[in-house]
Structure 1
Amino acid sequence: MSKTPIILGIDPGTQILGYAILKGGPKPTLITMDVLKMTKEKDIYARLQMIHARIIELIETYQPTHFAIEAPFFGKNIQSMLKLGRAQGVAIAAAMHFKIPVSEYAPKKVKQSITGNGNADKEMIWKMLERILAIKKQPKYYDATDALGVALCHHYQISGLILPTAKIVKGKKSSKKANSWEAFLSKNPERLKK
């Protein structure tokens, strides 16, 4: 019998890093989510050390079996990309030290898996996470919910679940793709996990 996965999801950042721990299984459960806020620290190398220390602390505390991290968004500011890549690398290195399998997801993939819309905004993602995981209190920073989204995306990836995400918030459909999901599910009801 396989062990229930514990997923550490990371939204990398050098000022604010989001993290979430999700217990997998038929009904995924949020264990914790928060941020590591480093805005008062000016030295980039000290921030990287803070990231490394927090990831190790999370791994030792929660014993995750999977590590999922959001891939950097390609922007025009090369310096920002380099800093973000360093933060991501330090976090990945900490997971690799503990021999935890690492998976990386593009932001659009995370949005698509949570809402059915690869262009969903942060509020829409939060609303779906709130609904899917029955979360009562919204965190102060979207970095935490982004990390939770990465963890849930990974859960869907490893479990093979297809969830009814076509009807997003307030019963509205998000796009033509969402309509195609609904059509697919209506033609293939056996693929829907309840």
Structure 2
Amino acid sequence: MGLDPGLTYTGWAIVSTHPIERFVCKAYGRIQTSVRKSISERLVHIHDVLLSVCETWMPHCAAIEQIFVNSNPVSSLKLGLARGVALMTPGRLQISVTEYSANTVKKSVTGNGHASKEQVLKMLKQIFHQTLSSYDSSDALAVALCHGFHLK
């Protein structure tokens, strides 16, 4: 399972490996929260949807990007809150969570640690033959793929 947390949008993706060393995208999505709701209500919504995804797909492990320092402290705090929920939800289900730097994720997917979001999206479309329209779910898919590469 790959996770790309954010307070407004949280991306998630489920990837499985097959014996012939192929990766298959089983499911992906984006959790959207309403800015009209309180932060606690938004965090509960993220948790509830991630819990449902975990219970539906029963991933063996999860991965998330390491946090980066943002120049806006309020944005960093909100990201940290959503990230905490994204780390805690699989953890409560005894699903291990591994963290990767953004450069490691990009390098795993494109071969270039400084690739743009567009380059990552293009490569994911080629690998998985999926119509990915959201950077949130494609970032989660990239994290899941990165983790899959590191497990082999």
TM-score w.r.t. the length of structure 1 is 0.74
- The secondary structure found in structure 2 opposite 1:72 is coil
Aligned CA distance change for structure 1 residues 30 and 41 (closer, same or farther; 3 Å): farther
Given candidates 136, 146, 154, the residue that maps to 2:147 is: 154
Amino acid at match of 1:120: A
Using the TM superposition, give the Cα deviation of residue 40 of structure 1 relative to its aligned residue in structure 2, in angstroms. Answer: 4.3
- Per the alignment, residue 101 of structure 1 pairs with 96
- The secondary structure found in structure 1 opposite 2:22 is coil
Which fold has the larger relative contact order, with Cα–Cα distance below 8 Å and residues 6 or more apart in sequence?
Answer: 2
- Per the alignment, residue 124 of structure 1 pairs with 119
Percent of aligned positions with the same letter in both sequences? 39
In 2, Cα distance between equivalents of 1:138 and 1:64: 21
| Aligned Cα root-mean-square deviation (Å) | 1.1
Aligned length: 150
In 2, Cα distance between equivalents of 1:14 and 1:79: 12
In 1, Cα distance between equivalents of 2:36 and 2:52: 19
Given candidates 121, 135, 148, the residue that maps to 1:142 is: 135
Q: Deviations over 1:145-172 (max 9, x none)?
A: 000000000000101xxxxxxxxxxxxx
| Contact map agreement 1:9 1:148 (CA 8 A) in 2 | yes
Using the TM superposition, give the Cα deviation of residue 41 of structure 1 relative to its aligned residue in structure 2, in angstroms. Answer: 3.8
- Per the alignment, residue 45 of structure 2 pairs with 50
Amino acid at match of 1:148: L
Q: Deviations over 1:9-56 (max 9, x none)?
A: 100100011111111231100011110011344311111101111111
Unaligned runs of 5+ in 1: 1-7, 160-194
Using the TM superposition, give the Cα deviation of residue 78 of structure 1 relative to its aligned residue in structure 2, in angstroms. Answer: 1.3
Map 1:5-154 to 2 at 5 A: 8-25=1-18, 26-135=21-130, 137-139=131-133, 141-154=134-147
- Per the alignment, residue 186 of structure 1 pairs with none
In 2, Cα distance between equivalents of 1:41 and 1:60: 28
Q: Which moved more, 1:33-42 or 1:65-74?
A: 33-42
Stretches (4+) displaced over 4 A: none
- Per the alignment, residue 175 of structure 1 pairs with none
| Contact map agreement 1:41 1:47 (CA 8 A) in 2 | no
- The secondary structure found in structure 2 opposite 1:55 is helix
Unaligned runs of 5+ in 2: none
Bigger radius of gyration among the two: 1
TM-score w.r.t. the length of structure 2 is 0.94
Larger strand proportion, structure 1 or 2? 2
